[in-house]
Structure 1
């Protein structure tokens, strides 16, 4: 049977989708090919809008899911050009538009826009999708799901290592070098607030290399006000998203600082991301020798510089230094989760999500 899988991921930054073609040998994987497709302005605007209540949501969400899957299918076609054999399955995450685990009748929900049946039709390959809801049904957060993959790919004996994925939200994985359990949780905003502010003031989707943030100064009072958000004090397991950190959150925060220069706000938002990651790492794995950074945040040079300053006793580096470039990690994780589903193995860690136990994740859509 083929051991080739494709993983597709579009995260909370809502800038586009990444796909990888991965070949497995045991629990280890090798990325054979990586592809990225940016969302066009219309799709990105609609996906952002669907994170908040609005008119005719069901119809709009269904059409957005179909449009998203057409991007996915284009990624798959590009990846298949480099496939040395048949692909067993596609792990397709979808686009999260609501994430409210545990908040209604003790269960809640998580909702990813996707059209996996359409993806199976367009590609002729089996699809594994809906990878979060089983964990939520078992009382878990449904997030983060990548720590089990991080453990398989980055963990090693004898040295504490941490991995932080900085997309729209930052999520941290703690990989002790001994016999302690793997843990992980969402720290808080990653790029989401910085991207919103950059788009509003500069018309750019993100702060390239963090150069605008580097031109500003951190405003201590603004940073202190932001860090008072109750989420940062919650113990894990915990997860968050654009449901909590969004444009209205930022507007409310800035009401008390009407004259703050825009570049200083950007520098402060960058520092907020840094401080919540550093605080959580020092609190939960203070002896970490390395912090591997993946996601788009790894390309923000100012963010990386500030992380190293905040963590002087930890080597802060891109995940590329350990064999997997930062924009490939999450897509690779969903290829790994698709394989786990096919093999009937749990893909979640109850110590991470808080679920009643590990669960086989996802729903299967045959080719």
Structure 2
């Protein structure tokens, strides 16, 4: 038999998610078992974060502002790519492609006549110029064109990295929005968005403490859950919809939160609202896991929410008999998973292989995703 190739198969994946906290990037070698060689990040400055958040809702001069925000975002992407190359000591020519998802600002699939749209701010042509590396972008729109939700796209990647035949495993990504992958013992893969992740908790924390997030959930842990408010949040119809389904800030927005908070008694403590929002995220995720992941003995958590110890403790309490751990237990740290997924999706594109799972997104069938911008 000929010897197996040992030539590195290198890709970079970039992820800037609904939490709007910045960009995570990884340099991945797909030769043999997936291996993350380097991880780098770039936080958004206050101005860019505010502009990206504003563009999630109708505002003045949207086209101009969106174009400039996309260019600024690519500046962050390029910084992360440069850091990855410097830390690895590799030239740009060693990397086959960069998978750059872009920043989702609107997500309305299967609407407005049946197709709808999903919109990610990005300028992949500019990124290819800045980095001198082939860029693959615009992963969601082909799935939407094929009748799908365009999200979530990570379950196929989760199966390739974490799946084990004979054992049902759940992978929960908690970014701004949360999504669940169900990797069944028989090899079947399911997945959908559960509802809010960090978005509502972060917004409330920023408003009342000036901090971008609730560090380790300590502020939430100091409060008490408000049962009536929790029930009102859990009554959101999206939570009861059957998959395929996906969501974003189009639904779980600051305006939605204000509507739910209307009528709270004066003097309600801010920390009690934070405790309730955290419980809402935990319940939405746990209910989804219990309903669709029956028989699972382990739940692996990734995304920024995996760093919230109080949230993880609530998930564990709500899922007795399920071993709740972060993806570090499976060899991939929580903040590297989604970026690695888009490196994987870029590789699928260049190989001419599907990146979606029709069962997950509701598309008419498997599709090769993404648009290619050569170096």
Q: Same fold (TM over 0.5)?
A: yes
The equivalent position to 1:15 in structure 2, one of 4, 17, 21, is: 21
Task: Find the counterpart in structure 1 of residue 351 from structure 2.
Answer: 343
Answer yes or no: is 1:50 the counterpart of 2:58: no
Task: Indicate the residue corresponding to 1:76 in structure 2.
Answer: 81
> Residues 126-145 of structure 1: matches in 2 within 5 Å?
126-145=134-153
1:174 aligns with 2:179: no
SS in 1 for 2:203: helix
Name the structure 2 match of 1:239. 246
- How far residue 285 of structure 1 moved from its aligned partner, in angstroms, is 1.2
Q: Relative to 1, partners in 2 of residues 1:156 and 1:57: Cα closer, same or farther, differing over 3 Å? A: same
CA distance in 1, matches of 2:9, 2:122: 24
1:327 to 335, 354, 365: 335
Q: Summarize the alignment of residues 176-195 of structure 1 with structure 2, pairs less than 5 Å apart.
A: 176-179=184-187, 181-195=188-202
1:199 and 1:281 map into 2 onto residues whose CA distance is 29
1:5-44 aligned at under 5 Å gives the runs: 5-26=11-32, 28-44=33-49
After TM superposition, give the deviation of residue 306 of structure 1 in Å. 0.3
- Cα deviation code 1:188-242 (max 9, x no counterpart): 0000000000000001110011000000011111000001111011000000000
Residue 64 (structure 1) shift: 0.2
Calculate the aligned-residue CA RMSD, in Å.
1.0
Match of 1:227 in 2: 234
C-alpha separation between the residues in 2 aligned to 1:258 and 1:246? 22
**Counterpart residue number, 1:62:** 67
* C-alpha displacement of 1:25: 2.4
Report what 1:197 is aligned to.
Answer: 204
Q: Deviations over 1:94-125 (max 9, x none)?
A: 00000000011100000000000000000000
Q: Which residue of 1 aligns with 2:311?
A: 303
Q: Classify the secondary structure of the residue corresponding to 1:327.
A: helix
**Segments of 4+ moved more than 2 angstroms:** none
Separation in 2 of the partners of 1:155 and 1:332? 16
1:286 and 1:356 map into 2 onto residues whose CA distance is 27
- Write the distance in 1 (CA, Å) between the matches of 2:310 and 2:8: 42
Distance in 2, Cα, partners of 1:311 & 1:230: 22
Aligned positions of 1:274-293 closer than 5 A: 274-293=282-301
Q: Does the 8 A contact of 1:21 with 1:83 survive in 2?
A: no
Q: Secondary structure at the match of 2:238?
A: helix
How far off its partner does 1:300 sit?
0.2
Q: Give the alignment's TM-score, normalised by structure 1.
A: 0.98
Could you list the runs of 5+ residues in structure 2 that have no partner in the other structure?
1-6
CA distance in 2, matches of 1:51, 1:266: 23
Aligned to 2:3: none
- Alignment check: 8 A CA contact 2:8 2:30 kept: no
Scaled by the length of structure 2, the TM-score of the pair is: 0.96
Which residue of 1 is the match for residue 4 of structure 2?
A: none
User: What residue is the counterpart of 1:248 in the other structure?
Assistant: 255
Partner of 1:328: helix, strand, or coil? helix
- Does the 8 Å contact 2:8/2:31 carry over to 1? no
Match of 1:358 in 2: 366
CA–CA distance in 2 between the matches of 1:83 and 1:130?
Answer: 29
**Distance in structure 2 (CA, Å) of the matches to 1:40 and 1:284:** 39
Per-residue CA deviation, residues 131-165 of structure 1 (Å, 9 max, x unaligned), is 00000000000000000000000000111100000
